């Protein structure tokens, strides 16, 4: 039996060490990066945050909001080809191009057929192919097929957690490898299967392997606060994919519900009467794409041979996503000044981490 003895770390196990820096202010740092790719001949200037291609965060509405900040989105797989084409047409008019939008695909023949229908319009040039287990031969075969069919496309593929598989995917046609198995906020893969790898260590190993092969990585899942996004970028991620952090907003998908709560306070009506104070709160559903709920909603029920690898949560409604995006970008800017990184790409070069036992003071709770 082989056991890897190296300590495997998560974002919560480390903190960045501040450094003396010549940067006087946050306005001196550049959070947009010029991306050059291994296979795709185009360049893109943007910040490498990507909305997850989940039903709840891969929405057209979030894509619009993210593009306004020059951030990427991966649309979910459950839009029809017609809906995607209509969106891409309108989006091109609004933003001048669809260069920040990925269309997503699974690896079945039906997926390829739909992808072909969308790609034939020439409206979009970015594809995200993902399966829960990126070690499957179906993924490698599929990305070879996609690269052959559209040699100049920007291709992201995953998900894996080891350097060897990153290299394989890149050498077979991927520009960006999506890394992460089990770190997601609504993922239960680790509980159900015992498989996975702490995300910070995953990012370090995979970034090293991918960069050595001329490719890039997208750190997918496990970010809970802007500081985690900073840690991912410092660990070598070229892109960071977010689900939970973008869920629960006006632009996110998922059913809205309203609940009533007794606050414990009373309202005095007059000297003799009082009424219990009731508060209404709005919630939005957020769920894993392999959850029973998602299977029921989008795949006509869970197949007998499958088990749920995701859960359903209800998130207090957070309003428009823009303040959340600005706080993530503000966090990145501030992190860059702390570590003396003038450009996004310099972050790993400037970063040193402390391994920690505890990173937050929770005396007043975990909320910001
Ligand atoms: P988050 O940012 O919410 O922590 O993670 C988002 C990522 O979780 C997604 O991009 C996807 O890779 C992963 N994910 C989404 N749904 C599921 C699921 O049902 N099961 C598993 N194992 N992972 C999921």
* pLDDT the model gives residue 129: 98
How many whole angstroms from 330 Cα to the centroid of ligand 1?
A: 25
Q: Which two tokens stand for residue 54?
A: 């989940």
Pair 335, 279 in one domain: no
Q: Is 187 a catalytic residue?
A: yes
* pLDDT the model gives residue 305: 77
Domain for residue 365, yes or no?
no
Query: Cα Rg for the chain, rounded, in angstroms?
Result: 21
Q: Is residue 290 in contact with ligand 1, taking CB distance under 6 Å?
A: yes
Burial (Cβ within 10 Å: 0-12, 13-18, ≥19) of residue 250: middle
Domain for residue 56, yes or no?
yes
Pair 284, 155 in one domain: no
Q: Domain limits at 309?
A: 256-316
Pair 172, 295 in one domain: no
Mutating to test ligand 1, I would choose from 130, 183, 289 the residue with most ligand atoms within 8 A of its C-beta, which is 289
The atom of ligand 1 lying closest to the CA of 183 is 4
Pair 106, 43 in one domain: yes
Pair 214, 117 in one domain: yes
The atom of ligand 1 lying closest to the CA of 54 is 15
The atom of ligand 1 lying closest to the CA of 291 is 19
The atom of ligand 1 lying closest to the CA of 182 is 22
Q: In the sheet where 274-287 sits, what is the strand order?
A: 256-268, 274-287, 312-316
How many whole angstroms from 24 Cα to the centroid of ligand 1?
A: 38
Averaged pLDDT in 10-residue chunks for the chain of 368 residues: 95 96 86 98 98 98 98 97 98 98 97 98 98 96 98 98 98 98 96 96 98 98 98 98 98 96 89 90 95 87 81 97 98 96 96 95 79
CB-based contacts of 159, cutoff 8 Å, min separation 6: 130, 131, 132, 133, 134, 178, 179, 180, 181, 220
pTM to 2 decimal places: 0.96
Q: Is residue 243 in contact with ligand 1, taking CB distance under 6 Å?
A: yes
Pair 40, 111 in one domain: yes
* pLDDT the model gives residue 302: 76
- Give dist(CA 130, CA 53) in Å, integer: 9
Domain for residue 325, yes or no?
yes
Residue 195 sits in a domain whose CATH number is 3.20.20.70
Domain for residue 366, yes or no?
no
* pLDDT the model gives residue 130: 95
Pair 76, 110 in one domain: yes
Domain for residue 361, yes or no?
no
Domain for residue 172, yes or no?
yes
- Give dist(CA 243, CA 247) in Å, integer: 6
Pair 244, 104 in one domain: yes
Pair 111, 79 in one domain: yes
Pair 153, 247 in one domain: yes
* pLDDT the model gives residue 307: 80
Q: Is residue 185 in contact with ligand 1, taking CB distance under 6 Å?
A: yes
- Domain tally for the chain? 2
Pair 87, 235 in one domain: yes
Domain for residue 1, yes or no?
no
Domain for residue 3, yes or no?
no
Q: Is residue 222 in contact with ligand 1, taking CB distance under 6 Å?
A: yes
Q: Is residue 124 in contact with ligand 1, taking CB distance under 6 Å?
A: no
Mutating to test ligand 1, I would choose from 186, 191, 246 the residue with most ligand atoms within 8 A of its C-beta, which is 186
Pair 154, 236 in one domain: yes
């Amino acid at each position: 039996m082989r056991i890897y003895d190296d300590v495997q770390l998560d974002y919560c196990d480390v903190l960045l060490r501040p450094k003396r820096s010549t940067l006087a202010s946050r306005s001196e740092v550049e959070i947009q990066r010029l991306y050059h790719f291994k296979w795709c001949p185009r360049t893109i200037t943007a910040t490498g945050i990507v909305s997850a291609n989940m039903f709840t965060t891969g929405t057209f509405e979030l894509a619009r909001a993210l593009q306004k900040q020059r951030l990427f989105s991966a649309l979910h797989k459950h839009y029809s080809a017609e809906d995607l084409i209509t969106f891409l047409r309108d989006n091109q008019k609004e933003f001048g191009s669809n260069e920040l939008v990925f269309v997503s695909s699974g690896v079945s023949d039906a997926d390829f057929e739909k992808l072909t229908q969308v790609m034939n319009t020439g409206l979009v040039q970015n594809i995200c192919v993902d399966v829960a287990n990126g070690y499957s031969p179906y993924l490698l075969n599929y990305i070879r097929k996609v690269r052959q069919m559209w040699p100049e496309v920007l291709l992201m593929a995953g998900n894996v957690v080891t350097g060897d598989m990153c290299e394989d995917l890149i050498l077979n046609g991927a520009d960006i490898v999506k890394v992460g198995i089990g770190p997601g906020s609504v993922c239960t893969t680790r509980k159900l299967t015992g498989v996975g790898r702490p995300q910070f260590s995953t990012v370090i190993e995979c970034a090293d392997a991918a960069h050595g092969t001329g490719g890039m990585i997208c750190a997918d899942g496990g970010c809970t606060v802007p500081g985690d996004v900073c840690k991912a970028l410092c660990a070598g991620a070229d892109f960071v994919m977010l689900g939970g952090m973008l869920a629960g907003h006006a632009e996110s998908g998922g059913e809205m519900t309203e609940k009533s709560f007794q606050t414990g306070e009373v309202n005095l009506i007059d000297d003799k009467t009082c009424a219990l104070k009731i508060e209404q709160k709005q919630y939005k559903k957020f769920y894993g794409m392999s959850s029973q709920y998602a299977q029921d909603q989008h795949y006509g029920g869970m197949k007998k041979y499958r088990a749920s690898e995701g859960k359903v949560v209800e998130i207090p409604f957070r309003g428009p996503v823009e303040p959340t995006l600005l706080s993530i970008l503000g966090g990145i800017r501030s992190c860059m000044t702390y570590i003396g990184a003038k450009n996004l790409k310099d972050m790993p070069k400037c970063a040193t981490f402390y391994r920690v036992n505890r990173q937050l003071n929770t005396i007043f709770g975990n909320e910001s």
